[in-house]
Amino acid sequence: MRTESFHADDLAKALRRSKIATMPELKRALGTEVDVTVFRKLKQLAYRTSYSHRGSYYTLDETAHFGQDGLWSFQSVWFSRRGTLLDTAQAFVENSSAGHFAEELDHLLHVGTKEPLLRLVQHERVAREPVDGLYLYCSLNPVLRKRQLLARHVLQAEPTLASSLVKPEVVSDELKAAIVLFSSMLDEKQRRLYAGLESLKLGYGGDQRMAEFIGMDPHTVAKGRRELLEQDLAIDRIRKAGGGRKPLEKKRPKSSPESKN
């Protein structure tokens, strides 16, 4: 019987040592010139390929420490919990509250996304809508897409919101409804920071005016404004669902032996 001369453990050791590696580096570690041999051994390991650099880098699952956005990088090579660039771009578009322009997604994913986004549209995995002369990439789901477009129109109008609030009568009911809906889609801290930002633009009395406009306590607006000024933006402090004080559990008194008689 022919003895197995290549071992997956050799690949694992090489990847643990260097964290990431290319196919030529893995072939050297395994002692082979054949790509198929490396792939056969990689299948025995839990591994991932990069979505940047045309998927030419490999790493072990145990090495990649993904952030809240599902991304991890080492030496400017990017990996995604979602796998390929196409799958990652689609997930970012789907999960965005206001869709994404290609340039925005380039910044978030640290790679060019124009071509992948066009492929996603062609394969009917995402939709795109014209907004201010650019294409906004949105969810294929019509309900989600409508919400994303509404939120995007609010964001596009955002620079003029503060000046409009100086004279509340100039704010249309449609814009006010859109802003209220947009703020309701943000989490607790994002909503507070958004209100604080607009309050800063308004200047004196901005906390009260923003609070009245979007239905928020003035003290909460003031807290958001202070956090922006102090750059106190730690993401992990955002209250998650189920956070806060736990409700007291009512305990039923145990019945005494006499009461059972």
Cα separation, 147 vs 40, whole angstroms: 45
For residue 245, what pLDDT is reported?
44
Average pLDDT over residues 200-219: 78
Residues 55-67 as b or e (16 or more Cβ within 10 Å = b): eebbbbeebbeee
Collapsing DSSP to helix, strand or coil, 51 comes out as coil
Quick: pLDDT tens for 227-239: 776 765 554 444 4
Quick: pLDDT tens for 118-131: 999 999 999 999 99
Q: For the packed helices 142-166 and 206-214, what is the interaxial angle rounded to 10 degrees?
A: 150
In CATH terms, is domain 82-141 a member of 2.20.25? no
Cα separation, 213 vs 161, whole angstroms: 11
Helices and strands: H and E segment counts in the chain: 11, 8
Q: So where are the chain's domains? A: 8-60, 82-141, 144-231
pTM of the model: 0.61
How far is residue 61 from each of residues 6, 10, 83, measured CA to CA in Å? 21, 16, 11
Cα separation, 190 vs 184, whole angstroms: 10
Task: Examine the pLDDT at 65 and tell me if it is beyond 80.
Answer: yes
CATH number for 8-60 (one of 1.10.287, 1.20.1070, 3.30.70, 1.10.10): it is 1.10.10
Residue 217: CA count within 13 A, CB half-sphere = 4
When the pLDDT of each residue in the chain is averaged and rounded to a whole number, the result is 81
Same fold, 8-60 and 82-141: yes
Quick: pLDDT tens for 115-171: 999 999 999 999 999 998 899 999 999 999 988 888 787 666 655 555 555 455 455
Cα separation, 106 vs 111, whole angstroms: 5
